[in-house]
Amino acid sequence: MKKGKLVFILLFLSIKQTLLLAQPEPQKSATIHLYQGKVFGLFSAKYRIYANGKLLCKLGRNSHCQIVLPAGQTTFTTKPPFLALTSQPALSLNLEAGKEYYLQGDAKFELFPPNGPLVLTEVVPNPNKLDQINHSKTERSLLTSVE
């Protein structure tokens, strides 16, 4: 009788362990949609977009890029293609696992347009904004790892 109970307990524990291993791992990353709208003017600069110092992509006018980053505090910065004369603004977000974020870059032209800052702001993904993103050029991700 004791052998039957022991076999039953071992069988129960092995099934329980198998079910625990089969559970999907919780998502630990967030999806970031970066977008720069149509900018009118003579210059069309491709800005480099960084997250915590790692290059994500290069955004030109009317383009977008999608990136998956680890959840947690992240600081986004931009750099123009040429030497910047002013400090570049930063956007800090606490990325939550499983969420999607939409960041729009707006070029603020100053004295030298190709060197002006690209200011990132978080936007609400309304139908009009999603349509603009879907009709813009897709830029490839330059991120090599998501540590």
pTM over 0.85: no
Q: What is the pLDDT of residues 28-77, one digit of tens each?
A: 999 999 998 876 655 667 888 999 999 999 988 889 999 999 999 999 99
Question: 104: closest CA among 30, 29, 32?
Answer: 32
What pLDDT does residue 24 have?
Answer: 47
For the domain made up of 29-138, give the CATH fold.
Immunoglobulin-like (2.60.40)
What pLDDT does residue 98 have?
Answer: 92
Count of alpha carbons within 13 angstroms of residue 95, beta-carbon side = 26
| Domain boundaries along the sequence of the chain | 29-138
User: Cβ neighbours of residue 129 under 8 Å, at least 6 residues apart?
Assistant: 35, 102, 104, 123
**Span 95-108, mean pLDDT?**
89
What pLDDT does residue 84 have?
Answer: 60
